[in-house]
C-alpha cells in the first residue's frame, strides 16, 4: 500500500507506541496532515457514535487504543479491562466496515496466548488453552477482535490484519506505579530508591518467570510494515525472540542505573504467566520485519528518558 495521500486514523496515537507509529507512518510516506489522532475527550471509542464519527472519510485505521496495565491493574479492574477493550475494538471494526475503510490494522496482545503455551509461542497455538488468569479478561477481549476480523474478511471481504506484539517498552511509556508494566515500573522503583537512599527494593514474585520485550520504535516500524504489506487476517507475532527472566531483568536495570542495594522478592505476590517468548518467523516471511534495537540499548534509552522527565511526570501526577 502506498501511504501517500491516504487518510489514516491512529487510535491511541498520543500514547508512547502511538507517537512512534505516527512517526513511522510519516517516514514511510504518509502525509502528516492526513493522520488523525482521536483523543478520548473528543471520541469515547466505547460508544458506536464515536466510532462512526472517527472513521468517516478514512482509508486506513490503525487501532492501538487500549485500556491496559500491569498485574496490579488486571487484578483490580478485570471487568473494565474486558468491557472497554472489547467494545472499542468491536464497534470500531464494525464502523470501519460500514464506512468502506480500505484497511484495518488491529494491534492485539501477547496476553491472548494460553497460560502454558509451548515456547516459543507460535501463532497457531493461540487457541490451545485459556490465558493466564490475571491477564484473561484483557486477553480474551482482544482475541475476540481476531475472530471478528477473520469473519468479516470471510463474509464481507473486509481487509483487516491482526498483530500480536510482545511486551513493549520505551521512552514515553506509562511510569505510573498504579498501572505501569514491568519495565517502567522497575525503572521508577530503582530511581526512587536511589533518590531516597534505600538499601533494599521490593520486587513482586520470585523472579523466575521469563519475558520477551520489544522496543517501541521497532514495534511501530513492524506495525507500519504490516499496514503496507500484510494482506491476511491470520495473527502475526511481533517480537525479538530474546527471552529474559524477571530476576535477570531487574539485575540488569539495577546495573544500568548504578543501583547496588538488595532485591527483596515478595513471593506472596503473583508471578503472572510463567514464560513468554515468541516465534517471530512469520513476520519476517510475510512482510520482512526484524527487530533492530538490542535489549540493552533499548533499556538505556528508556532509562535516560525517564531520568530526564521524572520530575515532570511526578508533578503531572500530583496535579491529577
Q: What is the pLDDT of residue 73?
A: 80
Check residue 189 and give left, alpha or beta (phi > 0: left; psi -120 to 50: alpha).
alpha
Q: How many CB atoms lie within 10 A of CB 225?
A: 18
Which stretch of 59-73, 79-93, 112-126 has the lowest confidence by average pLDDT? Answer: 59-73
More confident residue, 115 or 99: 99
Q: Is the peptide bond before 259 cis (omega within 30 degrees of 0)?
A: no
Q: What is the pLDDT of residue 180?
A: 84
Note whether residue 41 is domain-resident: yes
* Mean predicted lDDT score pLDDT of the chain: 95
Note whether residue 1 is domain-resident: no
Note whether residue 176 is domain-resident: yes
Q: Could you write out the three-class secondary structure of 155-194?
A: HHCCCEEEEEECEEECCCCCCCCCCCCHHHHHHHHHHHHH
Q: What is the pLDDT of residue 239?
A: 97
- Residues involved in catalysis: 138
Q: What percent of the chain has pLDDT over 70?
A: 100
Judged against a pLDDT cut of 80, whether residue 317 lies above it is answered with yes
The pLDDT of 33-54, averaged and rounded, is: 97
Judged against a pLDDT cut of 80, whether residue 71 lies above it is answered with no
Note whether residue 194 is domain-resident: yes
pLDDT band at 68 (very low <50, low <70, confident <90, very high): confident
| Number of structural domains found in the chain | 1
Q: What percent of the chain has pLDDT over 90?
A: 87
Judged against a pLDDT cut of 90, whether residue 274 lies above it is answered with no
Note whether residue 227 is domain-resident: yes
pLDDT band at 272 (very low <50, low <70, confident <90, very high): confident
User: What are the tens digits of pLDDT across the range 136-164?
Assistant: 999 999 999 999 999 999 999 999 999 99
* Residue 235 lies in domain: 8-319
The pLDDT of 267-283, averaged and rounded, is: 89
Note whether residue 26 is domain-resident: yes
Residues 170, 17: Cα–Cα separation, whole Å: 8
Judged against a pLDDT cut of 80, whether residue 25 lies above it is answered with yes
* Phi and psi torsions of 9, nearest 5°: -105, 135
Q: What is the pLDDT of residue 270?
A: 82
Total-model pTM: 0.92
User: What are the tens digits of pLDDT across the range 189-240?
Assistant: 999 999 999 999 999 899 999 999 999 999 999 999 999 999 999 999 999 9
Q: What is the pLDDT of residue 72?
A: 78
The CATH number linked to 92 is: 3.40.50.720
Note whether residue 169 is domain-resident: yes
Judged against a pLDDT cut of 90, whether residue 95 lies above it is answered with yes
Note whether residue 127 is domain-resident: yes
Residue 11 · residue 61 · CB < 8 Å: yes
Amino acid at each position: 500500500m502506498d501511504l501517500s495521500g491516504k487518510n489514516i486514523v491512529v487510535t491511541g496515537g498520543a500514547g508512547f507506541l502511538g507517537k512512534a507509529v505516527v512517526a513511522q507512518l510519516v517516514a514511510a510516506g504518509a502525509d502528516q496532515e492526513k493522520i488523525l489522532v482521536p483523543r478520548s475527550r473528543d471520541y469515547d471509542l466505547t460508544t458506536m457514535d464515536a466510532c462512526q464519527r472517527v472513521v468517516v472519510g478514512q482509508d486506513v485505521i490503525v487501532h492501538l487504543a487500549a485500556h491496559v496495565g500491569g498485574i496490579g491493574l488486571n487484578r483490580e479492574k478485570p471487568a473494565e479491562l474486558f468491557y472497554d477493550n472489547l467494545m472499542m475494538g468491536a464497534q470500531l471494526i464494525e464502523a470501519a466496515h460500514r464506512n468502506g475503510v480500505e484497511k484495518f490494522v488491529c494491534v492485539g496482545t501477547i496476553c491472548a496466548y494460553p497460560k502454558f503455551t509451548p515456547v516459543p509461542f507460535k501463532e497457531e497455538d493461540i487457541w490451545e488453552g485459556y490465558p493466564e488468569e490475571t491477564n484473561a479478561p484483557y486477553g480474551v477481549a482482544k482475541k475476540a477482535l481476531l475472530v471478528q476480523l477473520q469473519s468479516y474478511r470471510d463474509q464481507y471481504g473486509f481487509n483487516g490484519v491482526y498483530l500480536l506484539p510482545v511486551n513493549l517498552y520505551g521512552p514515553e511509556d506509562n511510569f505510573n506505579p498504579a498501572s505501569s508494566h514491568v519495565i517502567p515500573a522497575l525503572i521508577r522503583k530503582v530511581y526512587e530508591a536511589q533518590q531516597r537512599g534505600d538499601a533494599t527494593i521490593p520486587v513482586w514474585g520470585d523472579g523466575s518467570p521469563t519475558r520477551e520485550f520489544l522496543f517501541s520504535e521497532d514495534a511501530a516500524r513492524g506495525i507500519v510494515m504490516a499496514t503496507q504489506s500484510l494482506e491476511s487476517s491470520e495473527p502475526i507475532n511481533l517480537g525479538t525472540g530474546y527471552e529474559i527472566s524477571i530476576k535477570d531483568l531487574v539485575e540488569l536495570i539495577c546495573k544500568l542505573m548504578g543501583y547496588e542495594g538488595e532485591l527483596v522478592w515478595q513471593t506472596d505476590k503473583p508471578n503472572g504467566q510463567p514464560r513468554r517468548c515468541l516465534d517471530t518467523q512469520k513476520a519476517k516471511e510475510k512482510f520482512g520485519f526484524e527487530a533492530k534495537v538490542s535489549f540493552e540499548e533499548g533499556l538505556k534509552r528508556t532509562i535516560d528518558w525517564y531520568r530526564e522527565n521524572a520530575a515532570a511526570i511526578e508533578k503531572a501526577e500530583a496535579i491529577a
